[in-house]
Amino acid sequence: MTESFQELISCTPSGLYCPAGDFYIDPWLPVDKAVITHAHSDHARSGSKDYLATPESEPLLRLRLGRNIQVQTLPYGNALRIGRASVSLHPAGHILGSAQVRIEVEGKVLVITGDYKLQSDPTCTPWEPVRCHGLITESTFGLPAFRWPDVRVVIEDILKWWLANQQANRTSVLLGYSVGKTQRILSELIAVAGEGISQQIAVHGALLGPNEAYRCAGVKTPAFPSATALSKEHDWSKCLVFAPPSSQSTSWMKRFKDPSTAMASGWMAIRGTRRRRGVERGFILSDHIDWQDLLSAVTLYSPEVIWVTHGFSEITARYLSECGTDTLPAIPASVLQTKFAGEESEATLPAEDATAIEQTETH
């Protein structure tokens, strides 16, 4: 970190630390005060004494980390004084309750994006640009090859795949991460095809907790049944079943005869990923920012210096330092090593209730 930002942020063995406020942002070890950007497992970890997050994140955090954790909520845009730092949370558009963290100390502003995206998503508050002097941005998909197709086109492709499987009397199993990705797809499918399709949708037990947390936070979605709650004689040939990627090679899958398995992920934009993942179809849909939107976002942040973390951080930092964007000159940018994992992080939900459901369904 440059000297002018030493009071705002430093990278420690426990995670990103704000000296002026004596708190951590998404720490990977237990600390006294943790400011959480969102409820994915690589950003929200157990063991800290106190957590600060958005109200929308609270149900997911309690599901993941335990009902009795100490959580203080801070609505989007509201400022909170912590030590000598002014802290506010701003929409990141990644998943429900996801936030960018804005830290201001003596007029100097740093923004930590967490995971974010600019694409529309009916299940969370849209991303908002926050002007700053310093920016820490993710780059999970920081390569020009990653450019997301229109979401409506992807949803229509999923519906076509499901219809083709129905005509062939095959169960459609769609793999997607249990927090954020699945709820987004379910909402988008219903928006396009109508609520009538809900009668033919079931979910893996690991999705019951997150789905309920979304409903508790005000996201309207039907209470889809667990696949194991249906009778053994259930006709799966017309169904669309949602499951986390971790379920793919478990005994849970054996209940479906000749299933057609697909995966929704930004990694499906890379040739060969579908074959390596052992799925018949791949749908390009990510809750992370793509290359073009990343450059657009940097322009709107208008920082003086950038740190890039996880994903293709070296390539992104070099591009920003040497090339800049069409509307923003080259900016000093460097790699910041963290333990954030990006889109690979969210295979299952390791909260007590969800784990119990998962064990029941896979044995």
Q: Mean pLDDT over residues 319-345, rounded?
A: 82
What DSSP assignment string belongs to 186-208?
A: HHHHHHHH-GGGGGGEEE-GGGH
**Half-sphere exposure (CA, 13 Å, Cβ side) for 76?**
19
Rounded CA-CA distance 132/168 in Å is 54
Residue 54 to residue 39: CA distance in whole angstroms: 10
What is the spatial distance between Cα 23 and Cα 59, in angstroms, rounded to a whole number?
22
Is 151-285 CATH 3.40.50?
Answer: yes
Confidence at 360, pLDDT banded by 50, 70, 90: very low
- Domain ranges, ordered by start, for the chain: 3-145+287-344, 151-285
Q: What is the pLDDT of residues 138-178, one digit of tens each?
A: 999 999 999 999 999 999 999 999 999 999 999 999 999 99
For the entire predicted model, the pTM comes to: 0.91
Q: Does the fold of domain 151-285 match that of domain 3-145+287-344?
A: no
Tell me yes or no: is domain 3-145+287-344 CATH 3.60.15.10: yes
Percent of the chain past pLDDT 70, that is, above it, reads 92
Residues 71-100 pLDDT 10s: 999 999 999 999 999 999 999 999 999 999
